[in-house]
Amino acid sequence: MLRKLSLILGCVVLPLIAQGDEEERTVSAAKAAAGAARNLISNFSVQSFGPTMPIFRYRLGLNESDLRGTAAGEHEQEEDTEDEFVTRSFSVTPTVANIDNQITPILTEGQVRLMILGVEWFDELELTAKGVTFTVDNMDITSTERVPPAADVSSSVDGSGYTIAPYFVRQTESGGIHDVSFGIGRNSLKTKSTSTTASLNSSRSFISTGYSSAEALSDTLLVQYKFTASHTRDDVPAYTQSDGTAVPKSGTKHTQMMAEARFTQDMDGIAPFLGVSLIWNSFSASGGSGPAPREYNYTPLLSVGFNFSNDLLYGMVAMQGERDKKTTQFYIGFRF
């Protein structure tokens, strides 16, 4: 009798537990998409100051031509002539990010595809760039709850979203580069587990700032030192699954600081790089009833790839690996 009762309870309770943890898997997938958007938008904002761009080599004294031109000694000219040194550009940047996060108890694996549309004003006199991006993204992510000895429970999460993010980048008097960006956006998601489906919306927001300096080790070999800090928030409201199960609201907050040293070899428009970083994370999840996603407090990060650029075309291919987490990123953009 007791054995039968335990079997009955197991059949009833285990599905309820699996359904009750659905919010954790959903917010974990939303977090992965928001993190990919934040990182790629932050990288995009400093593209004009990248190692394959003339402005970067000018700052290091590696170009004979002076990008500020003779204008540096012509400050008496009228303000309207200074506009000649402010260029406006538009850009279209298709991007793909593959995610493989094996940090238990909530694993995420899949792909986020983004299209970054941007407009930027670049001031060659002040060496500043300011702009705004509108990013649309589409994701296919499998989120898995792994709590041994229980069997894995997975949900597939797909959907689309958008992010609006202004940014500002400037060269400081010491020669370093300071950048700041912030963004807000929303996701429209669909989840599917073994026996249920659901449609819902989520919101995202982030702020990111960084400071970088560079040193020329030779005419073509550069080392960049960069410190970045960011805060990302994702919120998933309460929703109801197809079988009538109510899923409570959930959310994540992720503060991250990273110190990086990156070595770049300039090869006439193509710049292979190798970066070594140390990451500090402060992460919290709220609203869930089951095991929550998490991040390691400290982790090293190794990145390898290359940038490329010419007058109209730019892009990056990068592979990054940290403790129990791997990502690959690729983008190619057009500026006109």
Distance separating alpha carbons of residues 247 and 260, to the nearest angstrom: 40
- Taking residues 258-272, what's their average pLDDT? 90
Distance separating alpha carbons of residues 25 and 252, to the nearest angstrom: 12
- Taking residues 304-331, what's their average pLDDT? 90
pLDDT digits 0-9 by tens, 17-68: 444 467 778 888 888 888 888 888 888 787 767 655 544 444 444 444 444 4
- The total of structural domains in the chain comes to 1
Share of the chain above pLDDT 90, in %: 48
* DSSP 3-state of 305: strand
- Taking residues 148-155, what's their average pLDDT? 91
Which region among 73-77, 168-172, 311-315 has the lowest average model confidence (pLDDT)?
Answer: 73-77
pLDDT exceeds cutoff 70 at 310: yes
The CATH number of whichever domain residue 247 belongs to comes to 2.40.128.130
* DSSP 3-state of 4: helix
Name the residue with higher pLDDT: 216 or 318.
Answer: 318
Name the token pair of 167. 């940014």
The whole-chain average pLDDT of the chain stands at 83
pLDDT digits 0-9 by tens, 158-212: 999 999 999 999 988 888 899 999 999 999 999 998 888 999 999 999 999 999 9
Q: Which domain holds residue 324?
A: 2-335
Name the token pair of 15. 């599905």
Distance separating alpha carbons of residues 311 and 303, to the nearest angstrom: 26
